[in-house]
Chain A
Amino acid sequence: MFRRCVLLILLGIQLVMLAGCWDYRDVNRIDFPLAAAYDLHEVGLRALRDEANQEQLIDLAVILPNLAQNATLKFRIEKTTGVTVGNARGQKPYTSTGTYSPGATGIIIVGEDLAGTGLNNIFQALFRGALSPSIQNFAISEGRGDGILEAPVEDYLSMADYLKGILQKSERRGFIPATTLHNFEVWQGPGKNPIMPLIKQKNKKAEVTGTAIFKKDRMIGKANLTETRSLMLLRGIKATGNVAFTIKRNGIILDRGSVDASNKRKVKVERNGDDINFLIIVMLEGNLIEHQFGKLFTENENLQQMIESQIASDVKKDCYKFISKMQQEYRIDCIDISKYAVARWGKELEDKVDQEFIENVNIEVEVKMKLKNTGELT
């Protein structure tokens, strides 16, 4: 009897709930943004909004897919402006239908200007929402971010698809850092600084132009593509990309070609009193793609070794160049080595590792290149 009563009560509750409970959302009434771009609001336009007296406004642009079968466009771009990210999202009901589900966004583009003001405050909204994953991919755009989303694409469903292809797991395709929300958070620990890929709109497309260097959450500099490669190698982000080489002897080009290489790194740290010495060992391993001057490996026994040492010395040179730029221009540790010192000496260093630490340490680089495979030709 008791059980029947409980069953009846449950059934009753069920029937009431079935009508649609507190959390029911119709999937067709939700807007799932494919990609979002955050920018600082342009000064001249401030007067257009009620919040004009605010110091800083944020523009949010999202790409939303058009679901209706007879829609002429596959996607639409909606722009709103607010005091914060959440506020900008909150403006959406006034300008478009549907509820907004920020959790689905896979790609987030941040404008250069906004990145310069510090991103932690901006990203609070992304982190706090329990529905957002921490695997959204980030990129900084040179110029405004919404411009990139608006770029007309013909070969892809929308710019978001293109960006997804270019940003997700990008380190597997080339020396491009892939930064997710989780990475961005974790890379702000003591002695660490985040980096993000830098993209730019060009000819109806967006292309990767380098890396944005961050001091904690604030963007302080850019690195071009060559520097990005050195940065990736030094930072130890496992990537695969093409490295070219030219072997010259006495001004004569002996050979030229390229290899597809993957990297690994090892860091050793030593201390003499206040001097701290780092040794970064970059290990490259790859396959020869081409070498142009028709020399045969069977006839030139040391050719393979020459290529290896040439690449190693080229890479090493680039790395030193980048390290000196880092120590003099960025003045922050963007190659993620201070953490080894912190792990070794703990509290003693933890407090000062983020202030004028990297400028005063000695960094040595060692590059080892190994050609695993030279292809089908001899």
Chain B
Amino acid sequence: MKDKTSSTITSKQLIFVIIGSQIGAGIFALPRMVSGKAGEDAWISVVLGAIIPFLSVFLIERLGRRMPQMGFTQMALGLFGKNVGSVLIILFIAYVLLFESLVVRSFAEIANLYLLPKTPLAVVLLFITISIVYIGSKGVRVLARLNEILFYFGVLLLFILIIPVGQADYTNILPVGEAGLKGIARGALTTAYSFAGTEVLLVFYSLVNKQEEVLKAGLIAVCITTLLYLAMVITCLLVFGVNNLQRILWPGLMLLKVSQVPVLERLEFIFLVFWMGMGARPAVNMGFAASLSLSQLLKIDEKKYNTYALMFIALAIYILALLPHNLLSVFKLWDYAGYGFLIIGLGYPLLYHLAAFMRGGKMLV
């Protein structure tokens, strides 16, 4: 195959890459987490929470527009010099490792809970890691195409969510505004963490072929994610009510158990079978971004060694994912990953803008 890592993706595919990096296993737990903070007004929180990813996309896009030819690592090295720049890149990679290990771990926990209760977590994780490496080794174009087709699969799957709407009770989301500004804001922050994934644009910006369309693509992606989250949260609220939601570990999956479907009888397993591609997807995208940054940082031949860098990243994710004791500690760590998102998704572009402003167009390297 031709030039793998330096080949480009279209701005349309960028939409799917961003969506793919955002939606992971977290969507199933989101209704519980948001409604725990914002109660009946969880849906308002979801809408408000989308502001942060919008902001993140906007800032990163402006940054890319300022220096259109430069990749993420070049930018860091150019703006901050070799030492500080390297630290920034390593921090980014570390964040990806932490964040994606949590994504992968939650996904493995779901698979373990519903599909393979007795299989050791290490084995389930191994298979997820293998698919990460395999997909990533195919290069960015294949990654983008895969994100594209998985998105359509995902939309088809989310149609399944319509089935339990027959059980909905509209009084569950009334009265509006009960949680107050504080509750809604706290819920919005929780949602904002679930939007983590827009930072993938930092690396992917330089890979897009029509860079003037990046902003549009990014905004569309965040809009679609918001809509999907909104649909999930509202459906769960309508079907379960706030009080019940707090008792359910993965409300999004429980949703599939409440209605009887002729012939298939049970939906949640079918959903999970197809979810495999989608659950590992954020880890694939972000892992690829991290491996690209790593091989650029080490100044090794991207074409030749990107797969090895990816294997290293995947291995690190695998080991980190095995570390948390149980699901509870994973959920706790989610919050830290959320702060990480704020730092990487908002802090980094701001910092870069500042540095670029100070440097006035001159680069260090």
Interface residues of A (CB under 8 A from B): 2, 6, 10, 21-23, 130-135, 180, 182, 185-186, 188-190, 339-340, 342-347
* CB interface residues, B 118-177, toward A, < 8 Å: 118-120, 123, 130, 133-134, 167, 169, 171-172, 174-175
- B95: Cβ under 8 A from any A Cβ: no
The residue that A22 contacts in the complex, of B119, B134, B167, with Cβ under 8 A, is: B119
Residues in B whose Cβ lies below 8 Å from that of A344: 174-175
CA distance A336 to B243 in the complex (A): 16
Task: List 23 A-B pairs, Cβ < 8 Å.
Answer: A6-B133, A22-B120, A23-B115, A130-B113, A131-B114, A134-B257, A134-B258, A135-B259, A185-B244, A186-B167, A186-B240, A186-B241, A188-B243, A188-B244, A189-B241, A189-B243, A189-B244, A343-B171, A343-B175, A344-B174, A345-B175, A346-B40, A346-B174
* A23-B119, A343-B174, A343-B175 known; A133-B257 Cβ under 8 A: yes
CB distance from A75 to the nearest CB of B (A): 21
Known: A22-B123, A340-B171. 10 other contacts (CB 8 A): A6-B133, A23-B118, A130-B114, A133-B257, A133-B260, A135-B258, A186-B244, A342-B171, A343-B171, A347-B178
Q: Which of A2, A134, A347 has the most CB of B within 10 A?
A: A134
Q: DSSP class of B's interface residues: helix, strand, loop or mixed?
A: helix
CA distance A10 to B257 in the complex (A): 34
**Who on chain B is nearest to A21 by CB?**
B119
CA distance A188 to B260 in the complex (A): 21
Residues in B whose Cβ lies below 8 Å from that of A22: 116, 118-120, 123
- B315: Cβ under 8 A from any A Cβ: no
Residues in A whose Cβ lies below 8 Å from that of B210: none
The residue that B243 contacts in the complex, of A132, A135, A190, A345, with Cβ under 8 A, is: A190
Residues in B whose Cβ lies below 8 Å from that of A186: 167, 169, 239-241, 244
Question: Quick check: B119 and A182 within 8 Å, CB to CB?
Answer: no
CA distance A180 to B260 in the complex (A): 10
Residues in B whose Cβ lies below 8 Å from that of A23: 115-119
Residues in B whose Cβ lies below 8 Å from that of A339: 169, 171
CB distance from A171 to the nearest CB of B (A): 13
Residues in A whose Cβ lies below 8 Å from that of B119: 21-23
CA distance A135 to B266 in the complex (A): 10
**Who on chain A is nearest to B40 by CB?**
A346
Question: Quick check: B257 and A135 within 8 Å, CB to CB?
Answer: yes
* CB interface residues, B 236-272, toward A, < 8 Å: 239-241, 243-244, 254, 257-260, 265-266
* CB interface residues, B 94-123, toward A, < 8 Å: 113-120, 123
**Who on chain A is nearest to B250 by CB?**
A130
CB distance from B284 to the nearest CB of A (A): 16
- B307: Cβ under 8 A from any A Cβ: yes
CA distance A353 to B171 in the complex (A): 15
Question: Quick check: A133 and B266 within 8 Å, CB to CB?
Answer: yes
Residues in A whose Cβ lies below 8 Å from that of B174: 343-344, 346
Residues in B whose Cβ lies below 8 Å from that of A10: 130
Residues in B whose Cβ lies below 8 Å from that of A130: 113-114, 117
Residues in A whose Cβ lies below 8 Å from that of B244: 185-186, 188-189
CA distance A30 to B196 in the complex (A): 43
